[in-house]
Amino acid sequence: MVSALPLNRPAPSGGSQRKVWWRLLAATPPLVFLGVFFAWPVGAILLRGLHPGETWNFGAFGDVLSDPTMQRILWFTVWESVASTVLCVLVALPGAALFARFRFRGKRLLWSALLVPFVLPTVVVGVSMLGVIGGGGLTGVNLTGTVWAILIAHVFFNYAVVVRTVGSTWSTIDPRLEESARALGAPPWRVFTEVTWPLLRSSVAAASSIVFLFSFTSFGIILILGGISHRTLEVEIYDQTAKFLHLDIAAVLAIVQLFVVVAILVWFGRSQRRRSVLFDQRSATETEHLPETARQRWFIRSNLVFMAVLLGTPLVLLVVRSFSTPEGWGLGFYRALTDSRGGSTSFVPPIDAIGNSLLFASIATVIALVLGLCAAWAIVGDGSAGSDSRFGRWTDTALMIPLGTSAVTVGFGFLIVFDEPPINLRSSIWLIPIAHALVALPFVVRLLVPGLRSIDPRLREAAATLGASPRRVWWSVDVPIVGKALAAAAGFAFAISLGEFGATAFLVRPDRPTMPIAIYRALGRPGEYNFGQAMAMSTILMLLTVVVMLIIDRFRPAGVSEF
């Protein structure tokens, strides 16, 4: 009844009611997917660990957190994550300044190439580092099993996050602000600390939070380079679950890990609101310039050499070692990928892993795209004033939660929940693609939301005025305009699926290994040919990832970043 409506609010029109219902309908598939394939498996593993019998075992928290070994693992996880973050920010800030302020030959290609280490599977990152700082590596110094190997690998992996996130913001700062400070006699360090830094703090905080999260939940890098003495929560969760079946310990560690990650995300949200500074932004073409002095030319050259050493050397050595066989240079390791005898994948030719990965990645990409598009539309609404409601923000937050959860926990939860009715997927080909889609979905949403927000709502209003239904408006207006964002999201989801390792380590069947699993199994077997197979498979996976990233950078809309 009209009298039941609040006096200070107009009664909702039929059109606005339809928009609300279409928005709820769009949010339903991704939220149901999240509930079934994330909340249910994770809840099941935590419930089984903390409620093994008729009573709750909350005493497991005290037992685990008071154990000296677990305290040492927790402390090392936090310590190495903070150290990795600080070191990465310090090392990458000069690179961000390079891309923000200077124009040089090959800049656009290098900007795209920076992403390659970040999207490489962590297993490949670990293998590539073995060629530089491992036994018999290029440097002649074996750092395997030391914290330095982990820190270097994390900087290699996360370098692009800081350069691209901070560099994008830095390139919009009017250089005349810095020139005015220098004209008033301020030395370079004071210009940076009092003029540039306040405008960069927000983007540095964003990059730091991402680097910390990836370092805190690192799995493949620690597994290959950390050795027995350097273990993180993620590796310990895997061992307690897969090797010892101590679900109560694994559940406590998973909750602790999730608590730390959520705390970091809350801190980041508050710091963004507190440290954000409004300023007159300029386009990158206005702020960049050719080097004018010898010092500026030296700055560019030294940064390019550093990037070549840090990012190029491990990847080049990876390729070189894949062709260096005991009989000399050749394709022996690549031909060995077709041999199933004594191979690393339980008598399945390792080359079959390439087809499996491509198949799983294709299925996962379709799932992530469909759900991501629905979620993005539910978050953004129709783009009109007030459409970015609390419902949209809560949906966005819910879809980000999987990023803060152990992939190992998710994988083992899949085994427990989907190995029996009502949903028995243990022997199904869909299990691994669904897990990959769950990991890729937050990134897909992050790419699609800015694209949808860029659509002029008047286009939707014009289509609706002509009688188009909300579904027709979505198909005829939204989809064509966000086509490039869709292509970029598809490529990124495909790359993520190719490199996923944590959850796949639990779910993969012996006869259907993926490429990261085949690489890890080859590394775990003695013999030079098994190591060579790992190098060859890593090279193939790296090349596939590079191709995907080049496609992403070609189709990504201007101003839209994956970070």
Give the confidence band of 285 by pLDDT, cuts at 50, 70, 90.
Answer: low
Whether residue 106 is found in the same domain as residue 169: yes
pLDDT digits (tens, 9 = 90+) for 413-444: 888 888 777 777 777 889 999 999 998 898 88
pLDDT at 365 > cutoff 90: yes
Going by C-alpha positions, the residue among 361, 357, 395 that lies closest to residue 492 is: 361
- Kindly report which listed range (144-148, 159-163, 306-310, 338-342) carries the lowest average pLDDT score: 338-342
Distance from C-alpha of 1 to C-alpha of 181, rounded to nearest angstrom: 65
Q: Where are the alpha helices (DSSP H) in 337-482?
A: 352-380, 390-400, 407-417, 431-453, 457-465, 470-473, 479-481
Phi first, then psi, for residue 443 (nearest 5°) are -70, -40
Same domain, yes or no: 274 and 360: no
Compute the distance between CA of residue 539 and CA of residue 222 in angstroms, rounded to an integer.
20
| Length, in residues, of the chain | 563
Report pLDDT for 4.
Answer: 42
Domain boundary among 320, 349, 370: 320
The whole-angstrom separation of Cα 389 and Cα 399 is 16
pLDDT on residue 299? 93
Beta strands in 150-254 (DSSP E): none
| Residue range 284-290: mean pLDDT, rounded | 74
**pTM for the whole structure:** 0.77
Q: Is residue 325 part of a domain?
A: no
Residue 344 domain-assigned? yes
Task: Work out whether the CA dihedral 189, 195, 196, 201 comes out positive or negative.
Answer: positive
pLDDT at 273 (0 to 100): 55
Contact 190, 181 (CB under 8 A): yes
CB-CB contact of 53 with 188 (8 Å): no
Statement to judge: residues 463 and 353 lie in one domain: yes
- Quick check: 10 pLDDT over 50? no
Name the percent of the chain in helix, strand, coil, to the closest 5: 75, 0, 25
195 Cβ neighbours under 8 A, 6+ residues apart: 177, 178, 181, 186
pLDDT value of position 59: 76
Task: Provide the domain count of the chain.
Answer: 2
Q: Are residues 50 and 192 in the same domain?
A: no
* Most confident residue range from 335-339, 355-359, 475-479: 355-359
For 119-134, how does the pLDDT look when each residue is reduced to its tens digit (9 = 90+)? 777 878 888 888 888 8
290 within a domain of the structure (yes/no): no
In the prediction, which pLDDT does 302 show? 95
| Tokens describing residue 131 | 């060629």
Same domain, 425 and 531: yes
What is the predicted pLDDT for the residue at 217?
A: 84
Same domain, 129 and 43: no
Pick from 83-92, 162-171, 256-265, 470-479 the range whose average pLDDT is largest.
83-92
In the chain, % of residues over pLDDT 90: 17
Mean pLDDT for 402-410 is 76
Instruction: Kindly tell me if the per-residue pLDDT of 20 is higher than 80.
Output: no
pLDDT tens for each residue of 53-75: 667 777 777 888 889 999 999 99
User: Which pLDDT value is given to residue 153?
Assistant: 93
Using DSSP's 3-state secondary structure scheme, residue 194 falls into: helix
Residue 502 lies in a domain: yes
Poorest-confidence range of 240-244, 396-400, 453-457? 453-457
User: Across the chain, which distance is largest between two alpha carbons, in Å?
Assistant: 89
The tokens for 82 are 């903070």
Looking at the structure, tell me whether residues 200 and 84 fall in a common domain: yes
* 136 Rama class: left (phi>0) / alpha (psi -120 to 50) / beta: left
pLDDT at 9 over 50: no
Q: How far apart are CA 334 and CA 534, in angstroms?
A: 10
Which DSSP string corresponds to 262-274?
HHHHHHHHHHHHH
Q: Do residues 497 and 402 share a domain?
A: yes
Half-sphere exposure of residue 497: CA atoms within 13 angstroms, side-chain side? 34
Q: What are the tens digits of pLDDT across the range 44-55?
A: 877 877 776 667
Of the candidates 35, 163, 26, 37, the residue with the CA atom closest to the CA atom of residue 92: 163
Run of H or E including 395: helix 390-400
Same domain, 73 and 33: no
pLDDT of residue 382: 53
> Is 251:237 a contact under the CB 8 Å cutoff?
no
491 with 369, same domain: the answer is yes
Spatial contact of 149 and 143, defined as CB atoms under 8 Å apart: yes
CB 451, CB 481: distance < 8 Å: yes
Band (pLDDT 50/70/90 cuts) for residue 83 is very high
Average pLDDT on 196-211 reads 83
Closest CA relative to residue 268, chosen from 207, 216, 217? 207
pLDDT interval class at 263 (50, 70, 90): confident
User: Rounded mean pLDDT of the chain?
Assistant: 80
Greater pLDDT, 366 or 526: 366
Domain of 482 in residue numbering reads as: 16-57+334-563
The per-residue pLDDT for 1 is: 38
Q: Specify if 94 maps to a domain.
A: yes
DSSP reduced 3-state for 522: helix
Same domain, 33 and 110: no
Q: Which CATH number does the domain housing residue 458 bear?
A: 1.10.3720.10
Asked whether residue 310 falls in the same domain as residue 351, the answer is no
The pLDDT, as a whole number, for residue 5 is 39
pLDDT band at 94 (very low <50, low <70, confident <90, very high): very high
3-state secondary structure (DSSP) of residue 420: strand
Q: pLDDT for 547-563, tens place per residue?
A: 887 777 666 555 444 45
Residue 11 located in a structural domain: no
Residue at 114 is within a domain: yes
Q: How many Å apart are CA 511 and CA 345, to the nearest integer?
A: 7
Residue 328 located in a structural domain: no
Q: Averaged over 490-501, what is the pLDDT?
A: 85
Counts of helices then strands in the chain (DSSP H, E): 29, 4
pLDDT of residue 404: 66
Give CA separation, 397 vs 63, 82, 375, 405, in Å.
32, 24, 11, 14
Among 259, 289, 320, residue at a domain's last position: 320
At residue 7 the predicted structure's pLDDT band, cuts being 50, 70 and 90, is very low
pLDDT score of 389: 60
Residue 438, pLDDT score: 92
43-52, 226-235, 510-519, range with the lowest pLDDT: 43-52
